[in-house]
Amino acid sequence: MLPFTHIVRALPATVPFVPPEALERKQGQPLALRVGANESNFGISPRARQAMVEAVEQVHWYNDPEGYELRSALAVRHGVAREEVVLGAGIDELLGLLVRLFVEPGDTVVTSLGAYPTFNYHVEGHGAVLHKVPYRADREDLPALLDKARKVRPKLIYVANPDNPMGTYQRADELRDFIAGLPDCVLLLDEAYIDFAPEDALLPLEVERAQVVRLRTFSKAHGMAGARVGYALAHRDVVAALDKVRNHFGVNRIAQAGALASLGDDAFVRSVVRQVEEGRREYAVLAAELGLQTVPSATNFVALDVGSGERARRLMQMLLQHGVFVRMPGVAPLDRCIRVTVGPSAERQAFAKVLCAVLPQLDIGDEIFC
Amino acid sequence: MLPFTHIVRALPATVPFVPPEALERKQGQPLALRVGANESNFGISPRARQAMVEAVEQVHWYNDPEGYELRSALAVRHGVAREEVVLGAGIDELLGLLVRLFVEPGDTVVTSLGAYPTFNYHVEGHGAVLHKVPYRADREDLPALLDKARKVRPKLIYVANPDNPMGTYQRADELRDFIAGLPDCVLLLDEAYIDFAPEDALLPLEVERAQVVRLRTFSKAHGMAGARVGYALAHRDVVAALDKVRNHFGVNRIAQAGALASLGDDAFVRSVVRQVEEGRREYAVLAAELGLQTVPSATNFVALDVGSGERARRLMQMLLQHGVFVRMPGVAPLDRCIRVTVGPSAERQAFAKVLCAVLPQLDIGDEIFC
């Protein structure tokens, strides 16, 4: 018997996500459409591409563990000090470290029921107790989250704005009221999709900086999911504390170079955002034509409402049989939807074609799987 | 006051390494020679370069969190099952996770006094108590480590083979005896430099796999330090436990592609190893000509013995003034050495030139710094 800690021994053997590569291995063939993980199939900025190709030539050197250049550029961009910016290998790594900073075994943490599973994974991995508040009308329910926080006095509370998996958002004034009402705890505000959101979703950065950690990423609008660059905007004491526990060399040299270059290419990101807006409208029209609802989205994905969890699961499987990878929310009533990434026009047309082909068979029953 | 955990509140604000980039920022100019972090200035395999440049084109897709292809290739290479291989963003990340798997606050851990600081950083970061055993004759002292382990009953014991920072190694038979004598605990065997070591340093993989975790990296002989790819060969229960806590998407897509390609280019790695052997001999000759000793090295660096910690620190500073970045061991008596990476011939000649120029001034005193 290996001498694992009590926490580790109690952990289940689950992982948050089955990757599309695992689906391909299982099926023995590549996917035709990869629209399940909200990867940006618009690709990356040409500037980021050039910077990364050039950085390959220096990859025998360690990356800068201080991420000085990228953090400096992010600080300028956001009008904060460099000491208020910290890099991580994606928001995922930062979530894990932030949980570790604040949570002791047995502590409580509040999130929404059906929200980002990787956050839950880290909370459970540190032996804390999760309280999950149901969504209301496909949005994270700020008043109910606030009630729960007042009741259970968590160390951390997690809110994604815009939300994943539904794509809805909170207005900045709603968030401001929410934060004003919070008891002593740290709000992890996951803004992975903020680039795609309307202006009124953006909470000003100066709001309650001591209590709010803002999480951002180059994985979505910047199209660099495989590079693993996330960052947090936070109080300098939080950044200093992260420096005491983080894996300092964790953000790859090529990734840092690419992110820096992409940050300098606003025109590219704006173009992606515009095309995503167009694609969301297109998917809303498509859904209407097919007699389906879509959840209004402030992200690069659309939740297509097919009526029930059973139908959504079945549709997801049918799409997969046609080589189309989508995901769906894990809990009711959110699981009446499938979640489709909004990519370039050709990809949308290809998805529409498959959806139109399989949807009429959705209620025929199990025989189509035989 | 932010609600940090007790452990975090007690941690000092130190980081294991000051990066060369920070030295450059401080000095306001680039370094002339970067021979302090045992980065491979032989660069990367042409196959790895091509694979990484190609992978940039797909970096908008997440990396495979299972690292399936790379782990499969590593499993074949080492004659183990894929379930006995786990990837991490460098050995650094894996050390942190392994500490987390096994160590509860207050537990004891054994290492050598002056050994890899990042391991200590993670142990302290998890609130454990470190016992440090002095080196003997510039080698980690296996008998003394064993005595200590029997006395303090650690959860983990750390040994690097070959050693960093001295470059010495343990023979496989010595390690085998050591492992046979260990009480119940897990041995983290850091083999970052094993590619450069003589054959008799290589402990067979089947030895006590349940109790020994072997740590390897693409940072040294493969020249991919900035890519952040390390891996552990371990019992499948350890790998399964790591899967419960690790950052699944932590190893960058480009890095995985590069490591896979590099693994397929044995000729490149062999060539690097041969040149490093030649360079070690060259530095031994150089040192002898200058009246210095070198510590026999089984790595891609050489510890040059300049007689005392004070002289070594002064020499390190003098070299830095000439744009030459080296590091040195942190504690006596190891700190009588500076540690110089063994790079290509031209780099060795450039280093020799600067060393020959500054060494005569080493005992002149402080005025040269004015």
What is chain A's pLDDT, residue by residue, as a tens digit (370 residues)? 788 999 999 999 876 678 999 999 998 999 999 999 999 999 999 999 999 999 999 999 999 999 999 999 999 999 999 999 999 999 999 999 999 999 999 999 999 999 999 999 999 999 999 999 999 999 999 999 999 999 999 999 999 999 999 999 999 999 999 999 999 999 999 999 999 999 999 999 876 668 999 999 999 999 999 999 999 999 999 999 999 999 999 999 999 999 999 999 999 999 999 999 999 999 999 999 999 999 999 999 999 999 999 999 999 999 999 999 999 999 999 999 999 999 999 999 999 999 999 999 998 754 444 3
Give me the interface pTM, i.e. the ipTM.
Answer: 0.96
Same structural domain, A156 and A30: no
DSSP A198-263: -GGG---TTTTTTTEEEEEESSSTT--GGG--EEEE--HHHHHHHTTTS-TT-S-HHHHHHHHHHH
Our count of domains for chain B comes to 2
**Cis check: omega of the bond before B165, within 30 degrees of 0:** yes
A271 in the same domain as A233 = no
> Which residues on chain A are in Cβ contact (under 8 Å) with B22?
64, 66, 68
- Please tell me the distance from the alpha carbon of residue B223 to that of residue A61, in angstroms, as a whole number: 8
Structure tokens at A98: 């932030």
Q: Is residue A338 classed as helix, strand or coil in its secondary structure? A: strand
Question: B174 and B287, same structural domain?
Answer: no
Q: Is the peptide bond before A20 cis (omega within 30 degrees of 0)?
A: no
Residues A324 and A186 both lie in one domain: no
Would residue B162 count as lying in a domain? yes
CB pairs under 8 A between A and B: 251
Q: Which residues of B touch A228 (CB under 8 A)?
A: 63, 249-252
Residue for token pair 């510039």: B138
Is-above-0.90 flag for pTM? yes
In contact, A261 and B56? CB cutoff 8 Å: no
Distance from CA of B304 to the nearest CA of A (A): 22
User: Per the CB < 8 Å rule, is B252 touching A68?
Assistant: no
CATH number at residue A333: 3.90.1150.10
Give residue B319's domain range.
19-43+267-362
Residues in chain A closer than 8 A to B56 (CB atoms):
44, 49, 52-53, 56, 254, 258
CA distance, residue B104 to nearest chain A CA (Å): 6
Q: Is residue B14 part of a domain?
A: no
Is position A12 within any domain?
no
Residue type, B232: A
Last residue of a domain, one of B233, B264, B295: B264
Domain end residue (candidates: A237, A264, A291): A264
Q: How far apart are CA B79 and CA B83, in angstroms?
A: 12
Chain B environment of A243 (Cβ under 8 Å): 13, 15
**Strand partners of residue A215:** A190, A232
| B189 lies in the same domain as B207 | yes
Same domain flag for A193 and A320: no
What are the tokens at A295? Answer: 């959840």
Q: Establish if A238 belongs to a structural domain.
A: yes
| Judgement on whether residues A365 and A242 belong to the same structural domain of the protein | no
Alpha carbons A187 and A172: distance in angstroms, whole number? 14
Among residues A264, A282, A299, the one where a domain terminates is A264
Q: How would you class A199 by CB atoms within 10 Å of its CB: exposed for 0-12, middle for 13-18, buried for 19 or more?
A: exposed
Question: pLDDT digit string (tens) for B190-217?
Answer: 999 999 999 999 999 876 668 999 999 9
In a shared domain, residues A36 and A52? no
Main-chain dihedrals φ then ψ at residue B224, nearest 5 degrees: -115, 40
> What stretch of H or E contains B295?
strand B293-295
pLDDT of B316: 97
For B9-37, how does the pLDDT look when each residue is reduced to its tens digit (9 = 90+)?
Answer: 999 987 667 899 999 999 899 999 999 99
* pLDDT single digits (tens) B126-138: 999 999 999 999 9
Query: Cβ separation of B241 and A15 shorter than 8 Å?
Result: no
In this structure, are A117 and A211 located in the same domain? yes
Q: Which residue of A has its CA nearest to B54?
A: A53
Cβ atoms within 10 Å of B288's Cβ, excluding its own: 11
Query: Could you tell me if A293 and A197 lie in one domain?
Result: no
Q: What does the block give as tokens for B191?
A: 């083999």
**Structural domain contains residue A308:** yes
- For residues B295 and B358, membership in a common domain is answered with yes
**Which residues does chain A have within 8 Å of residue B43's beta carbon, measured at their own beta carbons?**
57, 60
The minimal CB distance from A228 to the residues B8, B96, B250 is found for B250
B299 and B260 in one domain? Answer: no
Is B60's CB within 8 Å of A254's CB? no
Evaluate whether residue A221 is within a structural domain: yes
